[in-house]
Structure formats: C-alpha cells, structure tokens
Amino acid sequence: MRPIVVLGAGSWGTALAIQFARGGGPTVLWGREEDDPALLARERRNERYLPGAEFPASLAIEPDLAKAVGSGEDIVLVVPSSVLRIVLKQIQPMLGNRARIAWASKGFELATGKLPHQVAGEVFGPSVPIAVLSGPTFAREVGLGLPTAIAVASNDDVFALSLAERISSGGFRAYTQPDIIGVEIGGAIKNVIAIATGVSDGLGYGSNSRVFLITRGLAEMVRLGIALGAKRETLMGLAGLGDLVLTCTDDQSRNRRFGRALAAGKPVDQAIAEIGQVVEGYHAAKAVHAVAAKHGVDMPICGHVYRVLHEGVPIKLVETMLQREITPEN
C-alpha cells in the first residue's frame, strides 16, 4: 500500500494526516519550512497548530516536497484556496502517471471566481481523478479522535471510495458522493455566514438572530449552488448545512471569532492579526459577492459582509435584513 500524501501542515492538514494514519495505513505529511518539519518529526505532534494530538506510528514527516509527492499515488492538498493553483502547478511535474488529486481547500479562487475543481481541471485536464473532502469538522476535535463525519465527492467512484475507506476508522466516518460542485459551494459560503453570526452574537442580538442568519444564509447557499449546478440535497447535507451550522455556532471557528471581533469595534486588519491564522471568510466574501453578481443571485447576507469588510460600510447586518421588502420565504 502506497502512502496517502498530505500537503499542508497547518491545523487541518495535520488533523487529516493523523486521521489517515490512524487506521494504520502509511501516511506522509509535508509542511513548509516555516512549519518546522524537523520539529514535527522530532516531537511527533504539532504543538503550534494542533496541541495534544499525537502522531500515529504510520505517519511520516517529509520536508522535501518532491520526495513527499513522489512517495504516494493519492495526494491531498490542504492549503488556502488563494494558493491552490500555485501549489497544483508546483507539484504537476512531480506526479506520476497514476496520480490522483484531492483537496480540503474551501472557497472560490479570488482572481477568477472559480471553484477548486475548475482550477484543478485547468491545471491537469480531465484525465486526472479528483476529489474534495469537506464537512462539519474542527481540526482540534479530529486531532483528538472525537466522533466526526465528512463527505468525499469525486468524479471517480473508485477514488472516492478509496479515500473514504482510508480515512474512516475509529470515530471517523466518510460518505461518498459525486456532487463536487455542491460540496465545494458549501465550503465556500459557510465562512462568510459564520462572520455574520459572529457579528450578531458579538452585538448581543441573541439566539433568535443567530438562527435567522443561519437559515437565511442556507437559502443563499442553495440559490447560488443551484445556479452553479449543485444538487439541493448536497447543500442540505454534511458539506452544506452541517458545515454551516458548525462554523456559525462554535467559537472554534476562526471566522465566527473574527465576526465577534468586528462587533467589538476592532478594525479588520487588527481582528485578522489577532486570530493568528488565515481567516478564509475575509477573502471568500469578496469572491462570493463577485460570483453572485455574475450569476444574478440575490445574497443579502454575504453582500453585506462583503461591504463591511471591503468597502468599509458600518455593520448593520441584522437591521438591513429586517428592513428588506417582505417576500415569500421559499
């Protein structure tokens, strides 16, 4: 059995590598120089991003990117969506003829408004099997082995099943499905809505307001998803509704904490700096706003978050939603 290769040693990349290795299958984790791969190999844990989660014996650390990529057939990228194309192009010459590519990156490419599978298609063409892993998952809980479920969507049923079987062990379960667009849309939008619910809670608006934003945020997700070719049932599943509720209701979410910081009056730059890791929703808000405008999809919550973050308008999210013209719910 060849190793699963995970590229990206942040909190989620480390957690996925640990979970792939828990079943005893060989797993290789590559991290950037600033992630200090030598330290990870020596301490057998990632105290910077995932404290307390021990590495299984079957998890190896490889600091050389070419050696890491060359060691396995299945490559899983866990990098910000903003650099996904760069990393795909970087590893392309290193891949063998049988390579299969997956990612856990969430969000549209900012410059083009394209989803990750479209970016991968432009880099590799249609012949390479691809997959996306997404769902309601906090890295810390996966690292600690707490019960978790995700969706694995692929254009190749064999690849989807292989990934699902390799990652499913203990309290972790993966479901397979073919709707790549739906799974990616859920991951792209939920962070923007999580900023909104963080703002609402930070302003003390209560549980009613939070659920109002989650529910109407789901409606926005479904509208854009269907416009782009997703299936409604996918957006009601783990990678849609599941991930949305998780990210909007727990302060393990960086995007939710970011929203709370904005509600406390902190400038955008300061709030991001205090989080200390990538706040995907900041960039996602701009990309979602552009894609929605291109396809003529009404997304008032995402639009207001975009204007707060990128146009400097005052935070009046809930008030703006309440004052909109009365319309049918569905």
Q: Which residues are catalytic?
A: 190
Q: Where are the alpha helices (DSSP H) in the chain?
A: 11-22, 37-43, 65-70, 84-91, 116-124, 139-143, 157-167, 180-202, 206-228, 232-235, 243-249, 254-263, 268-275, 280-295, 300-310, 317-322
Q: What one-character-per-residue DSSP string does 261-319 give?
A: HHHTT--HHHHHHHH-S--HHHHHHHHHHHHHHHHT---HHHHHHHHHHHS-----HHH
Residues forming beta bridges with residue 150, ordered by sequence position: 174
For the chain, the residue count is 330
The kind and range of the H/E element at 101 are strand 100-103
